[in-house]
Structure 1
Amino acid sequence: MRKGSIAENLNSVTERIVTACRFCDRKTDAVTLLAVSKTRPAADLRAAFAAGQRHFGENYLQEALEKQEALTDLDIVWHFIGPLQSNKTRDVATHFHWLHTVDRLKVARRLSEQRPGALPPLNVCLQVNIDGEDSKSGVAPEALPALAAAVAELPNLRLRGLMAIPAPRGENEDQRVPFRRLAALLEALQRQLPEQPLDTLSMGMSGDMEAAIFSGATIVRIGTDIFGARK
């Protein structure tokens, strides 16, 4: 649970990222901190922005749109990180910079068709069901190459990389197993699609952030350690 102010917690999380990067000999700016702000009021996002945070991740579309309306004066980079139904793609295509949860070609096609021409392509990550869990969304690893090739052809999307939410694991070394697997899948896609800007591994949360960074994460999604437990 959050103990300090949002600014203090952001500083603490940033220090953890820097320490982890140094430990595994990565540049300290190699990892982007994505503040997961679902269920948090717009005032909390404003406080985090004032403390230097720029990237925010939202799971619930209507809630996110209301926050965007309340925070139009801030230059926020908006990431949608929740499951996306095909009938709700237009709002994501119109109002977000990133989408982390593409796992179906139907959704990707709708996003590309609905992305306004005045905006740059929408940055997307393909969500992989890295542990094969029935309760989790995501494309199966064996189906990933075909989906990636099809998404790469869509004109208004920019395929950036992969995202996963592994099953919980207790020890750091155990936590690294699925993250290494996801990193290997990204390396294979980079060989398959060398013309794509495949530079993103969105993985790691408050409880396994260091393991994710050790395994090559470029975006870590942190909510509890910034804002406290969800209400």
Structure 2
Amino acid sequence: MKDRKDELAANLAQVEERIAAACAAAGRAREEVTLIVVTKTYPASDVRILSELGVRHVAENRDQDAAPKAAECSDLPLAWHFVGQLQTNKVRSVVGYADLVQSVDRSRLVTALSKEAVRQEREVGCLIQVALDAGESARGERGGVAPGGIEELAGLVAKAPGLRMAGLMTVAPLTGEYAGRQQAAFERLMDLSTDLRRAHPAANMVSAGMSADLEEAVAAGATHVRVGTAVLGVRPRLG
């Protein structure tokens, strides 16, 4: 276990250096960017080590993995983010542990989350997942709502009991005009965030950037970066 702790500590230090350097290059304070460690496919023991090393935000993308892990780590001072595509039949479980759902992309999901948050007497922060590879009205292939759908969905979240409209999230598109242009994609997300904050001033989270492109996200103005591989190592391939 000590070897694993040493490995994670070294990886975290490298990621921290990258974020600090990116902040300095962008003229931003380091405190403006929150690191979320994506712990999917890794065991609860790793989550426990990360908590010991000072990590306060972790993310999961599959409820069947996340629910038992969150239960096992319920004594830790962690905020849990759900970042995967969320089916409505998983909402009851996810609301039980997720402090934020970053993948809100349709009205039916908003309704289900609200109903469950009220039932469990919890407040769940919601980020609207934006599909920058979608047309103005279509949905993206990796989930997410087209830019033209943000305003309507944000209004639904803001009015929904038990939910808090927290901001926007995106995954750099693999296709379309932003393919291979991560920084341009993240700058577009920042513009959309500016528009959103006119109606919802407190919705100031911008979640963008992962292990390969966190520098571009920080340069664009992201408030949260989601890093998995660079901290935990290359994931074992799932069969």
TM-score, normalised by the number of residues in structure 1:
0.91
Amino acid at match of 1:96: A
**CA gap 1:220/1:95 in 2 versus in 1, 3 angstroms:** same
In structure 2, what is the Cα distance between the partners aligned to 1:43 and 1:206?
Answer: 21
**Alpha-carbon shift at residue 168 of structure 1 (Å):** 4.5
Residue in structure 2 matched with residue 126 of structure 1 by the alignment: 128
Higher RCO (CA < 8 A, seq sep 6+):
1
- Tell me if the contact between 1:128 and 1:164 (Cα under 8 Å) persists in the aligned partners: yes
Residue in structure 2 matched with residue 207 of structure 1 by the alignment: 212
**Alpha-carbon shift at residue 27 of structure 1 (Å):** 1.1
In structure 1, what is the Cα distance between the partners aligned to 2:174 and 2:215?
Answer: 14
Q: For 1:23-46, what per-residue CA distance to the aligned partner results, in whole angstroms no more than 9, with x for missing partners?
A: 111111111100000000111111
Describe how 1:145-224 pairs up with structure 2 within 5 A: 145-168=151-174, 174-194=181-201, 197-224=202-229
- Tell me if the contact between 1:99 and 1:123 (Cα under 8 Å) persists in the aligned partners: yes
Describe how 1:22-101 pairs up with structure 2 within 5 A: 22-101=24-103
State the SS of the aligned residue for 1:11: helix
Q: For 1:49-69, what per-residue CA distance to the aligned partner results, in whole angstroms no more than 9, with x for missing partners?
A: 111111100011011111112
**Alpha-carbon shift at residue 217 of structure 1 (Å):** 0.6
In structure 2, what is the Cα distance between the partners aligned to 1:149 and 1:209?
Answer: 29
In structure 1, what is the Cα distance between the partners aligned to 2:71 and 2:95?
Answer: 16
- Tell me if the contact between 2:99 and 2:124 (Cα under 8 Å) persists in the aligned partners: yes
In structure 2, what is the Cα distance between the partners aligned to 1:19 and 1:138?
Answer: 30
Residue in structure 2 matched with residue 13 of structure 1 by the alignment: 15
Note the aligned Cα RMSD (angstroms). 2.0
- Tell me if the contact between 1:93 and 1:116 (Cα under 8 Å) persists in the aligned partners: no
In structure 1, what is the Cα distance between the partners aligned to 2:11 and 2:32?
Answer: 20
- Of 114, 117, 121, which residue of structure 2 is paired with 1:115? 117
Runs of 4+ in 1 over 6 A off after TM superposition: none
How many residue pairs match? The answer is 225
In structure 1, what is the Cα distance between the partners aligned to 2:140 and 2:223?
Answer: 26
- Of 221, 225, 232, which residue of structure 2 is paired with 1:227? 232
Q: For 1:85-132, what per-residue CA distance to the aligned partner results, in whole angstroms no more than 9, with x for missing partners?
A: 011111122211111000011111111111156755211100010122
**Alpha-carbon shift at residue 167 of structure 1 (Å):** 2.0
**Alpha-carbon shift at residue 76 of structure 1 (Å):** 1.4
In structure 1, what is the Cα distance between the partners aligned to 2:140 and 2:76?
Answer: 39
**Alpha-carbon shift at residue 147 of structure 1 (Å):** 1.2
In structure 2, what is the Cα distance between the partners aligned to 1:174 and 1:214?
Answer: 13
In structure 2, what is the Cα distance between the partners aligned to 1:134 and 1:65?
Answer: 26
**Alpha-carbon shift at residue 141 of structure 1 (Å):** 0.7
**Where in structure 1 are there 5+ consecutive unaligned residues?**
none
Residue in structure 2 matched with residue 142 of structure 1 by the alignment: 148
In structure 2, what is the Cα distance between the partners aligned to 1:80 and 1:57?
Answer: 6
**Alpha-carbon shift at residue 193 of structure 1 (Å):** 3.0
Q: Percent identity?
A: 39
